Amino acid sequence: MAKRVYLFSSSFTEGKADMKNLLGGKGANLAEMASLGIPVPPGFTVTTEACTEYYDCGAKLSDELRAECLAALKKVEEYTKMGYGDPEKPLLVSVRSGARQSMPGMMDTVLNVGLSSKTVPGLIKKTGNDRFVWDSYRRLIMMYADVVMEKAEGIEPVDGKGIRKQLDEMLDEYKHKKGCKSDTDLTTEDLKFLAEEFKKRVKASLGKEFPDDPIEQLFGGIGAVFKSWNGKKAISYRRIENIPDDWGTAVNVQTMVFGNMGDTSATGVAFTRNPATGENKFYGEWLVNAQGEDVVAGIRTPNPLNDATKNEQNKHLHSLQEVMPETYKQLDDIRLKLESHFKDMQDIEFTIQEGILYMLQCRTGKRTGTAALVMAMDMLDEKLIDEKTAVLRVKPAQLDEVLHPIINPESEKKASVIAKGLPAGPGAACGQVVFTSEDAVKWVKDGKKVILLREETNPEDVEGMRAAIGILTARGGMTSHAALVARGWGKCCIVGAGALHVDVAGKKAKIAGSDIVIKEGDVITLNGSKGHVYQASLEMMDATENPRFKHFMTIVEKYMKMGKMGVRTNADTPADAKVARAFGAEGIGLFRTEHMFYGVGADQPLFLLRKMILSNTVEERKAALNELSPFFKKDIKATMEAMDGMPVTVRLLDPPLHEFVPQSADKQAELAKALGIKAEDIKKRGEALHESNPMMGHRGVRLGITYPEVTEMQIRAVLESAVELTKEGKHVHPEIMVPVTCDVRELDVTKKVFDKVYEEVKKAKGVDAIECKYGTMIEIPRAALLADRMAKTAEFFSFGTNDLTQMTFGFSRDDIGVFLGDYLEGKILDADPFQTVDQDGVGQLIEIAAERGRKTRPELKLGICGEQGGDPASVEFCYKLGFTYVSCSPFRVPIARLAIAHSVIKDKK
**So which residues are the catalytic ones?**
481, 865
C-beta neighbour count of 858 within 10 angstroms:
8
Strand, helix or coil for residue 590:
strand
Q: Which stretch binds ligand ADP (CB under 6 A): 170-178, 199-207, 250-258, 879-887?
A: 250-258
Name the packing angle between helices 130-144 and 119-127 (round to 10°). Answer: 140
Q: Return d(Cα 888, Cα 248) in angstroms, integer.
A: 40
DSSP string, 377-437: HHHHHTTSS-HHHHHHHS-HHHHHHHTS-EE-HHHHHHS-EEEE-EEEE-SEEEEEEESSH
Strand, helix or coil for residue 733:
strand
Name the packing angle between helices 547-560 and 369-381 (round to 10°). Answer: 80
Shortest Cβ distance from residue 499 to ligand ADP (Å)? 32
Q: What angle do CA 452, 453, 454 make, to 5 degrees?
A: 115
Among 267, 479, 527, 836, binds ligand ADP (CB under 6 A): 267
Whichever of 361 and 615 has its CB closer to ligand ADP, that residue is 361
Q: Which of 718, 888, 700, 885 is nearest to 803 (CA)?
A: 700
Shortest Cβ distance from residue 743 to Mg ion (Å)? 16
Shortest Cβ distance from residue 130 to ligand ADP (Å)? 19
Strand, helix or coil for residue 646:
coil
608 lies in the site for ligand ADP, by CB under 6 A = no
249 lies in the site for ligand ADP, by CB under 6 A = no
Which of the listed partners (Mg ion, ligand ADP, none) does 254 bind, with a CB threshold of 5 to 8 Å by partner kind?
Answer: ligand ADP
Q: Return d(Cα 196, Cα 137) in angstroms, integer.
A: 10
The amino acid that residue 115 corresponds to is L
Q: Return d(Cα 869, Cα 556) in angstroms, integer.
A: 18
Whichever of 130 and 779 has its CB closer to Mg ion, that residue is 779
Interacting residues with ligand ADP between 288 and 347 (CB under 6 A): 292-293
Whichever of 283 and 877 has its CB closer to ligand ADP, that residue is 283
C-beta neighbour count of 859 within 10 angstroms:
8
Shortest Cβ distance from residue 202 to ligand ADP (Å)? 21
Which of the listed partners (ligand ADP, Mg ion, none) does 214 bind, with a CB threshold of 5 to 8 Å by partner kind?
Answer: none
Cβ atoms 895, 400 nearer than 8 A: yes
361 lies in the site for Mg ion, by CB under 5 A = yes
Interacting residues with Mg ion between 730 and 789 (CB under 5 A): 779
Shortest Cβ distance from residue 482 to Mg ion (Å)? 18
Whichever of 71 and 296 has its CB closer to Mg ion, that residue is 296
Whichever of 74 and 880 has its CB closer to ligand ADP, that residue is 74
Strands laid side by side in the 43-46 sheet:
5-8, 43-46, 249-255, 93-99, 109-113
284 lies in the site for ligand ADP, by CB under 6 A = no
**Number of residues in contact with Mg ion under rule CB under 5 A:** 4
217 lies in the site for ligand ADP, by CB under 6 A = no
Among 111, 149, 472, 672, binds ligand ADP (CB under 6 A): 111
Whichever of 93 and 518 has its CB closer to ligand ADP, that residue is 93
Shortest Cβ distance from residue 336 to Mg ion (Å)? 21
Which of the listed partners (ligand ADP, Mg ion, none) does 803 bind, with a CB threshold of 5 to 8 Å by partner kind?
Answer: Mg ion
254 lies in the site for ligand ADP, by CB under 6 A = yes
Strand, helix or coil for residue 835:
coil
Whichever of 111 and 560 has its CB closer to ligand ADP, that residue is 111
Among 45, 228, 280, 351, binds ligand ADP (CB under 6 A): 351
Q: Is the dihedral of CA 353, 356, 360, 365 positive or negative?
A: positive
Shortest Cβ distance from residue 347 to Mg ion (Å)? 9
Among 7, 19, 141, 257, binds ligand ADP (CB under 6 A): 257
Interacting residues with ligand ADP between 354 and 413 (CB under 6 A): 360-361
Q: Return d(Cα 565, Cα 568) in angstroms, integer.
A: 10
Which long-range contacts does 868-871 make (Cβ < 8 Å, 24+ apart)?
868/801, 868/802, 868/805, 868/834, 868/835, 868/836, 868/837, 869/570, 869/589, 869/801, 869/896, 870/487, 870/895, 870/896, 871/835, 871/836, 871/837
Cα separations (Å) of 631 from 73, 604, 710, 734? Answer: 83, 9, 14, 18
Cα separations (Å) of 567 from 7, 216, 583, 590, 895? Answer: 51, 62, 10, 12, 10
Among 43, 476, 647, 800, binds Mg ion (CB under 5 A): 800
C-beta neighbour count of 410 within 10 angstroms:
14
Shortest Cβ distance from residue 627 to Mg ion (Å)? 27
Strands (E), 633-768: 647-651, 733-738
Whichever of 291 and 649 has its CB closer to ligand ADP, that residue is 291
Whichever of 585 and 865 has its CB closer to Mg ion, that residue is 865
Task: Compose the 91-110 pattern: x for residues touching ligand ADP by CB under 6 A, - for all others.
Answer: ---x-x--------x---x-
Shortest Cβ distance from residue 294 to ligand ADP (Å)? 8
Which of the listed partners (ligand ADP, Mg ion, none) does 800 bind, with a CB threshold of 5 to 8 Å by partner kind?
Answer: Mg ion
Name the packing angle between helices 665-675 and 603-613 (round to 10°). Answer: 80
Among 53, 576, 803, 838, binds Mg ion (CB under 5 A): 803
Shortest Cβ distance from residue 257 to ligand ADP (Å)? 4
Which of the listed partners (ligand ADP, Mg ion, none) does 109 bind, with a CB threshold of 5 to 8 Å by partner kind?
Answer: ligand ADP
Which of the listed partners (ligand ADP, Mg ion, none) does 135 bind, with a CB threshold of 5 to 8 Å by partner kind?
Answer: none
Whichever of 352 and 428 has its CB closer to ligand ADP, that residue is 352
Q: Return d(Cα 27, Cα 45) in angstroms, integer.
A: 6
Shortest Cβ distance from residue 105 to ligand ADP (Å)? 5
Question: Taking the mean position of all CA atoms in its chain, how far away is CA 180?
Answer: 43
Partnered with residue 568 across adjacent β-strands are 887
Q: Which stretch binds ligand ADP (CB under 6 A): 161-169, 239-247, 249-257, 880-888?
A: 249-257
349 lies in the site for ligand ADP, by CB under 6 A = yes
Whichever of 721 and 806 has its CB closer to Mg ion, that residue is 806
**Number of residues in contact with ligand ADP under rule CB under 6 A:** 17
Q: Return d(Cα 574, Cα 468) in angstroms, integer.
A: 21
Q: Return d(Cα 113, Cα 256) in angstroms, integer.
A: 8
882 lies in the site for ligand ADP, by CB under 6 A = no
672 lies in the site for ligand ADP, by CB under 6 A = no
Q: Which residues bind ligand ADP (CB under 6 A)?
A: 41, 94, 96, 105, 109, 111, 254-257, 267, 292-293, 349, 351, 360-361
Q: Which residues bind Mg ion (CB under 5 A)?
A: 361, 779, 800, 803
